[in-house]
Homo-oligomer: A and B are copies of this chain.
Amino acid sequence: MPTSSNGVAATLERGSLARLMRARSVAIVGASNSNPWSMLVASTLKALAFPGPVHLINKRGSPALGRETMASCTAIGEPVDAAFIVVPAEGVGDALRDMAEAGIRQGVLVTSGFAETGAEGAAEQARVFALARELGLTLLGPNSVGFANFVDRVGLGALPLRLPVTVGGVGVVSQSGATCGQMVRFAQQQDIGLSYAIATGNEAMVDLADLVDFLAGDEATRAIAVFAETIRSPERFAEGALRALVAGKPLAVLKVGRGALSAEVAKAHTGALVGDDRVFDAVCRELGVIRVDSLELLLQTSQLLASTGRLNGKGFAVASISGGACEMTADLGEAAGVRFTRLAAPTLERLGAALPAFGHANNPLDVTGDAMRDPTLFERSLQTMGEDPDVGLLGCIFDLPIGDSDVSPVTKVMLENIARGLAAAPCPTVLIEQTLGNRGVAGAAVIKDLGLPVVIGGIDYAMRAVGHAMQWSRNAVRPVVPPAPPPAPHVGGRPVSERQVLDYLGSRGVPVISATVAATRDQAVAAARAVDGPVVLKILSPDIQHKTEAGGLALDLADDAAVAAAFDAIMASVALKVPGARIEGVVVSPMRRGGVELLVGVARDPSWGLVMALGLGGVWVELLNEAALGRLPVTPDQAGELIGQTRAGILLAGYRGAQAADLDAVRKAIAAIGDAALALGPDLMSLEVNPLWVSGGAVECLDALAIWKD
């Protein structure tokens, strides 16, 4: 298992990472004809036409890669920005000392055989990186295939790259070297422009969070695409994600470990602590991170947003020559959350005038087969749609020519009309192919010649990418709320029993059901008299956890006689079932029924800290298997969002004529529960209020449970 680290941001300034990523002179330490990694990196540097000097270091000074080598970095005799270290594991220490002595402060450690091989390797990794820190080095890896910076043509990577790669705005980061290569491969097939491709390896020092932070600040990068297996430094990842959001750069993440099976597989091969995956979903929602499930969608969504930038909240309008494509687009778009423009009456009128008699002005728009005869139908329709006041993204569905073949004259004229129609739009535009296929030579030429916008295929992935882009764009305008100051820590003893927890919550401003302690039958009757309506009696004893099993609970007691009898019955039962228990009396509370019962739970996630889970309580919570999650602290506004994510929102709004709840009070109570949990400090494992009872304006915790470490 990899050792955890505080990442480079905690130990080194951002500048050192930038110097690594934009190195202007490099050394390959361990260059040798028998070392495939050194050959790969050399060919990558060559293929990228790296403009700076490349020094080859070979301990024995033997020639390598067709050139002379030097025996050490210190022999170079001029400043070098970064080293690519491919020496065997046992030689890494010496190599690091040599590079430090030569003043090389940055590097990629390709060498494997460290934490990924087990406990022994992890210990060795810890030793090596302690040395690296001591020497003031910034290292990517170990067990990293390195990176390519396509903008500055720095290829310190042994990625299986087939060049050329189109240079563009998508920065790729991957915790898997193989997947990094696959992402570049798919980008090439789709002609998706990349700024960086970075494989993080074991992340002993520089981790995902550092690289997200770096790319968020990188000028050439307009969207960040991440493949992640584990988030090693959650807090810094969150900071990086927010930095990207503030910079207007979408961050899309494919994080594996969603299902039970992959969690198992991951555990086996990385030993990473795998929490409940839905927590990461909630974190993504909070941070405006786009979460996707496939590499295709990861890159296509990034590609789309790198081209369009933030969308303005208006709808999507799209035209096609195929009615079938229009219908598929409508179906898949709706399912993916794409908002389609309801075209305005004047737009429909103009489209109607342009279309043949049997056409229908609509969105998605079928321009009809008449566009074969009169290709200007495409240009005119697209121009008209683009001018509609509610169109924020304009698309056209049309397939580019396959492979290397020439474009047929008919197709060419149609594409020219489409390009003009899209270019006339005052909003971002996209060309969508019906099915996903490689961008062939002919297709790439068309895109270039006609200055076509971003091209995505097929309709399925394109609609999901547009859906994500719209969702992200909505999130991106949400003001980033500075985190509330943490609540004052609790100073007394740990609340443990139900009574203690309820009293504690009450002291923290959480509305709790009224309760009177009664030590005797007469006190119980008197307390019950003071309550309007029937009451509940609960045994009060530090030694009794399971009240129901002990016979320590009596419900719906309507008069003195019932209360007195219940008191006696409880005392008799408890004496029988839990002999020796210290009995402090009973708690008398009003009986509650009807209303809506919420479950408000707080639990500690190993990565993300205290997380709130909110849903309908009682029979509902398991039957619906529905809970909204959010990291603490949760503000009242955020509590309202959580409510809205579950069916609790429907019931609280006064479903089917039932009285609507005082939502403001509910939101405040939920936020107060979260703050109360936070104030209990790091030993609290979970705190659950079930139910939080809501009926009209009344909001009350009826029951609560806290679980502590140990």
Contact = CB atoms under 8 A, between A and B. Distances in A.
A622 B436 CA distance: 38
Given A265-B330, A358-B116, A437-B186, A459 B294 contact: yes
A174 B174 CA distance: 41
Contact of A295 (B112, B293, B297, B434): B434
Interface stretch (A64-72, A251-259, A420-428): A251-259
A323 B176 contact: yes
A159 B178 CA distance: 40
B327 A229 contact: yes
Given A266-B327, A293-B331, A325-B178, A358 B256 contact: no
A656 B334 CA distance: 37
Q: Which range contains the number of A residues in contact with the other chain?
A: 35 or more
B324 A179 contact: yes
A335 to B, nearest CB: 7
A118 interface: yes
A328 interface: yes
A574 to B, nearest CB: 23
B326 A460 contact: no
A260 interface: yes
Contact of A118 (B186, B324, B357, B364): B357
Interface stretch (A9-17, A235-243, A647-655): A647-655
A269 interface: yes
B623 A655 contact: yes
B185 A335 contact: no
Contacts of A676: none
B435 A438 contact: no
A38 interface: no
A484 interface: no
Contact of A322 (B179, B259, B330, B403): B179
A117 interface: yes
Interface of A: 112, 116-118, 121, 162, 174-176, 178-179, 182, 185-186, 188-189, 227, 229, 254, 256-262, 264-266, 268-270, 293-297, 321-328, 330-335, 340, 357-360, 362, 364, 366, 369, 399, 402-403, 405, 434-438, 440, 458-460, 619, 622-624, 647, 650-651, 655-656
25 contacts: A162-B402, A176-B322, A176-B324, A178-B323, A185-B402, A186-B437, A227-B324, A256-B327, A256-B328, A256-B330, A259-B334, A261-B330, A262-B326, A262-B327, A265-B366, A268-B360, A269-B366, A293-B331, A293-B460, A295-B458, A295-B460, A403-B438, A437-B438, A619-B655, A623-B647
